[in-house]
Amino acid sequence: MFVGNKDGKVSFFRNEGDINSPIWVQITDFYNSIDVGLESAPVFADIDADSDLDLFVGKEDGTLSFYRNDGTKETPSWYLVSENYDSIDVGAKSIPTFVDIDADGDFDLFLGEEYGNVNFYRNTGNDTLPQWDPITAYYNSIDVGRRSSPVFADIDDDSDFDLFIGQDEGQVFFYKNDGTIYLPDWRLLNESYLFVDLGSYSRPALVDIDSDDDADLFVGEYDGNIGFYQNQATVPIPSWSMITENYFAIHADNYSAPTFADIDGDGDPDLFIGRKDGTIDFYENIGTAESAFWNLIPGEYDFLDVGTYVSPTFVDIDGDFDLDMFVGQIYGKIYFYRNDGTYQLPSWPLVSDNFESIDVGWYSVPTFGDMDSDGDYDLLVGNEEGRISFYQNEGTAQAFSFLFNTDSFDSIDVGKRSSPVLCDFDLDNDLDLFVGESKGGLHYYKNLTLNSIRGKVTDQTTPLENAVVYLSGDKEDSTFTDSSGNYAFVGLPLGNYCVFRDPATFQYCFSPLDSDTFEINFVGFTHVDEFSEQNIPQHFRLFPNYPNPFNPVTNITYFLPADAEIKLIIYNLKGEKVKELTHGFQTRGWRKVIWDGKNSQGKKVSSGIYFCKLQANQGCEIIRMVLLK
């Protein structure tokens, strides 16, 4: 994949996956040292019929640069033929595409441009030596607003090309070809093809509002309404359908920033809406986890005094089993209100109006997640400039200590007013990222990192400090255990790995199919799959199963920090329930369940990917398991 940008360069992303499941890895943001000034728009076409692709780049001034491929199909070599190809000039922001629109065996040329029209140049030459005849600057009288970006595809499989045109507001216009391959006849079918208009200043929130084991989408926006998009697909592939643009007739005047949290400990999510005037509206869910019903509690959060453009979020930052509150605001700082009450009845003293001295400039939007899989919450903060700042928690789950890492997390730039939210959207045991922005777009960043390989080294009863653990495979590394005997390899790319203390004694090797977190423990120099009570986690947790991949049985371990009603269920890739492993009340502590690879009818299931979901009062967690036969 090749992507132009506003700086005039071209980024190259190589597909490290396959044709059905692509995984894009950026190779360079300056491909072949191409720089056309501003607003590069690359497209490839075999313009001289020599069986390799040539490169054309649209640009800010409305002209085209032409790079001929003097290499091969497999190993291109680019030669700049012209910076003003055939003297074509569409005024500003040319966006080219090639298609044989009249079925005469050669490419014709269409160009989008700044003012939303489409220019058509017919090829009156041939497939080896094109000659461009300018037919019209207003093809089919098309006007999509600004920054037209045309592309052709036979979307309905009727052997002729249909036309799609993007534009600067993110809409896609769909023109169906009702003519023939020789003489197209265009009919506008849709001005918002596969497009959800989120308004402007989109503020996403993700929550399983109907308790069907997938994430539903709520979007606040500039006018103060909240859009609700229900996920009607199965685990783990989403399919959102718009239910309403004005959820429960909730209106927050200008600007709404929704977030969800079970603030009263009754097992269903409650709704908080940050407002432009600096207040927070609180809607208690007096329905159920499966069917929410909202009751506005007036004045419940009027004690806040944080400025304007409030962006609240909730997290248990001090490991005391209740939710604390953090609030972003217009001046780029973060207010911290610690919950000194309980999980069911919060009390909110203001601890800091300048949390950790964080200042992102303007319009701070905080979100928390365990980014490095070390058992504590890290912090991402959106801002006015459209980038995201990352603060890594170098403390613990009980005593945080945030260290500034970068103000350009993963080089993400969504334009203006970034609004990040973290969620394990694809149920692969790591956090994915959604980002709203000023024009109403919603950007999705899938986490393609193997979070960690971690574990513990003991001599049966006592943790071993400074014990060396080795990593081999796609990355060679070693580390030493801490005073509690814990070790971790964090931030590993997808690949093949082995972890061991002595390769002659024991190695645990695996090849992940997708993102995962593995926990491998050692007794001395050998492996053990039991978890020690000396390393009790501070939060509700479902651990990665062992072994994984497995055949025919696997161990599933979880920890309950308090007595709870729980359900442990296996699902297949389609989201269908395979087997309920356990259901009922359990006391605080460790639990281990063995799954024998059979469904609820006692029949062996086929090889593939399965999901194990643990549902309890404290929330739910999901792990991915691979059965190989």
Write down which residue in 445, 470, 485 finishes a domain.
Answer: 445
Nearest C-alpha neighbor of 295 from the set 286, 304, 303: 286
Residues 463 and 572 in one domain: no
Examine residue 487 and state whether it is found in any structural domain, yes or no. yes
Residues 250 and 362 in one domain: yes
Cα–Cα distance, 188 to 149 (Å, whole number): 16
Q: Would you tell me how many other CB atoms lie within 10 Å of the CB of residue 81?
A: 12
Residues 409 and 463 in one domain: no
Residues 126 and 60 in one domain: yes
With residue 501 as reference, give the H or E element that holds it: strand 497-502
Q: What is the CATH number of the domain that holds 249?
A: 2.115.10.20
- The β-bridge relationship of strands 442-445 and 432-436 is antiparallel
Q: Token pair for residue 164?
A: 């799609």
Q: Token pair for residue 437?
A: 């922005």
State the DSSP string of 103-132.
-SSS-EEEEE-TTS-EEEEEE-S-SSS--E
Residues 128 and 82 in one domain: yes
- Residue ranges with strand state E in 232-377: 240-244, 256-261, 270-275, 280-285, 294-296, 311-315, 324-328, 334-337, 350-352, 365-369
Question: Tokens 């109403």 correspond to what residue?
Answer: 440
Q: Domain residues for 93?
A: 36-190
Amino acid letter, residue 166? G
Examine residue 365 and state whether it is found in any structural domain, yes or no. yes
pLDDT digits (tens, 9 = 90+) for 56-65: 999 999 999 9
pTM: 0.59
Examine residue 397 and state whether it is found in any structural domain, yes or no. yes
Q: What percent of the chain has pLDDT over 70?
A: 88
Q: What is the CATH number of the domain that holds 551?
A: 2.60.40.4070
Examine residue 414 and state whether it is found in any structural domain, yes or no. yes
Burial 264-280 (b: 16+ CB within 10 A, else e): bbbbbbbbbbbbbebbb
Amino acid letter, residue 209? I
Q: What is the mean pLDDT of residues 139-166?
A: 92
Residues 491 and 385 in one domain: no
Examine residue 3 and state whether it is found in any structural domain, yes or no. no
Nearest C-alpha neighbor of 310 from the set 274, 282, 281, 285: 274
Burial 197-225 (b: 16+ CB within 10 A, else e): bbbbbbbbbbbbbbbebbbbbbbbbbbbb
Nearest C-alpha neighbor of 43 from the set 74, 77, 10, 76: 10
Q: Is 357 in a helix, a strand, or coil?
A: helix
Residues 418 and 477 in one domain: no
Residue 400 Cα to chain centre, angstroms = 25
Residues 70 and 180 in one domain: yes
pLDDT digits (tens, 9 = 90+) for 385-437: 999 999 999 999 899 999 999 999 988 888 899 999 998 877 766 788 999 99
User: 514 forms bridges with which residues in the sheet?
Assistant: none
CA distances from 408 to 109, 381, 416, 513, 604 (A): 38, 10, 13, 29, 48
Cis amide linkage into residue 561, ω under 30° from 0:
no
For residue 534, report the phi and psi dihedrals to the nearest 5 degrees: -75, -10
Residue 344 Cα to chain centre, angstroms = 31
Burial 146-164 (b: 16+ CB within 10 A, else e): ebbbbbbeeeeeeebbbbb
User: 350 forms bridges with which residues in the sheet?
Assistant: 337
Q: Would you tell me how many other CB atoms lie within 10 Å of the CB of residue 53?
A: 13
Cα–Cα distance, 464 to 467 (Å, whole number): 6
Residues 278 and 352 in one domain: yes
pLDDT digits (tens, 9 = 90+) for 162-219: 999 988 877 788 999 999 889 999 999 876 655 556 668 888 998 889 888 788 889 9
Write down which residue in 414, 445, 476 finishes a domain.
Answer: 445
When pLDDT is cut at 50, 70 and 90, the band that residue 533 belongs to is very low
When pLDDT is cut at 50, 70 and 90, the band that residue 493 belongs to is low
Cα–Cα distance, 280 to 582 (Å, whole number): 40
Q: CB neighbours of 249 closer than 8 A, spacing ≥ 6?
A: none
pLDDT beyond 80 at 518: no
Number of domains in the chain: 4
Q: Is 278 in a helix, a strand, or coil?
A: coil
Residues 354 and 394 in one domain: yes
Examine residue 407 and state whether it is found in any structural domain, yes or no. yes
Amino acid letter, residue 341? G
pLDDT digits (tens, 9 = 90+) for 32-59: 999 999 999 999 999 999 999 999 999 9
Angle 211-214-215 (CA atoms, 0-180°, nearest 5)? 100
DSSP assignment letter at 329 = -
Side-chain-side CA neighbours of 521 within 13 Å: the count stands at: 21
Residues 484 and 621 in one domain: no
pLDDT digits (tens, 9 = 90+) for 311-352: 999 999 998 889 999 999 999 999 999 999 988 899 999 999
Write down which residue in 190, 222, 244 finishes a domain.
Answer: 190
Average pLDDT over the chain, rounded to an integer: 86
- The β-bridge relationship of strands 486-493 and 517-519 is unpaired
Examine residue 25 and state whether it is found in any structural domain, yes or no. no
Q: Would you tell me how many other CB atoms lie within 10 Å of the CB of residue 512?
A: 21
Query: For residue 539, what pLDDT is reported?
Result: 67
Nearest C-alpha neighbor of 315 from the set 338, 288, 284, 281: 338
When pLDDT is cut at 50, 70 and 90, the band that residue 73 belongs to is confident
Cα–Cα distance, 549 to 537 (Å, whole number): 25
Examine residue 30 and state whether it is found in any structural domain, yes or no. no
Residues 514 and 566 in one domain: no
Cα–Cα distance, 152 to 100 (Å, whole number): 10
When pLDDT is cut at 50, 70 and 90, the band that residue 500 belongs to is confident
Query: For residue 606, what pLDDT is reported?
Result: 87
Residue 362 Cα to chain centre, angstroms = 24
